[in-house]
Amino acid sequence: MSEPARDHAGGCACGAVRYRASGDLRPVVACHCSQCRKAFTNYGAFTAVARGGLAIDNEAEVTWHESSPGVRRGFCRRCGSALFWDNSAAAQVSIAAGTLDQPSGLTQVRHIYVADKADFYELGDGLEQLSQGQSGNPWPGSARGGGGA
Ligand SMILES: [Zn+2]
Ligand SMILES: [Zn+2]
């Protein structure tokens, strides 16, 4: 007996970009790397879905920025909401968890790139903290070459 995979939907702040994520979503990882610090005003909370499970309804509204070689970040060209983190070498695409429609049903499990976090806040939630990325994690999401979720 298994639960059917739940479909999720989400979008940017202005509504120009909507997407659907089909299949199991990875637990949320909070990335405190310098790229996320700037893009998200502190850190990026990311889930991830199998590459074929992400359907962007109106991708023409998404601007892709190559943040490091082979890695691109997608944001709404109208309102600037950061939405996607896509490492072309990974089997999953990361989704900014805060853009999911609520309730997401997800749980945050760890912090990564804690060594790069801003100095004006502390982490006190007791979750695992990695100073760098999470290579070797069964749900790869971090990339060599800086940043990642
Ligand atoms: Zn928008
Ligand atoms: Zn990051």
> 3-state SS of 95-123?
EEHHHECCCCCCCEEEEECHHHCCCCCCC
Domains of the chain, each with CATH number or no CATH: 8-129 (2.170.150.70)
Contacts of 108 (CB under 8 A, 6+ apart): 27, 28, 29, 30, 45, 97, 125, 127
Give the closest residue to 38 by CA, choosing from 62, 67, 14. Answer: 67
- Centre of ligand 1 to C-alpha 112, Å, is 27
Ligand 2 centroid to 85 CA: how many Å? Answer: 9
The answer to whether residue 4 scores a pLDDT higher than 60 is no
- Give residue 148 CA to ligand 2 midpoint distance, Å: 4
pLDDT tier at 76, thresholds 50, 70, 90: very high
Q: 95-120 pLDDT, tens per residue?
A: 999 999 999 999 999 999 999 999 99
From the CA atom positions of the chain, what is the Rg in Å?
15
Q: How would residue 5 be classed by pLDDT, with cut points 50, 70 and 90?
A: low
Instruction: Give the residue among 113, 58, 108 at the shortest CA–CA distance from 83.
Output: 58
Distance 147 CA to ligand 1 centre (A): 23
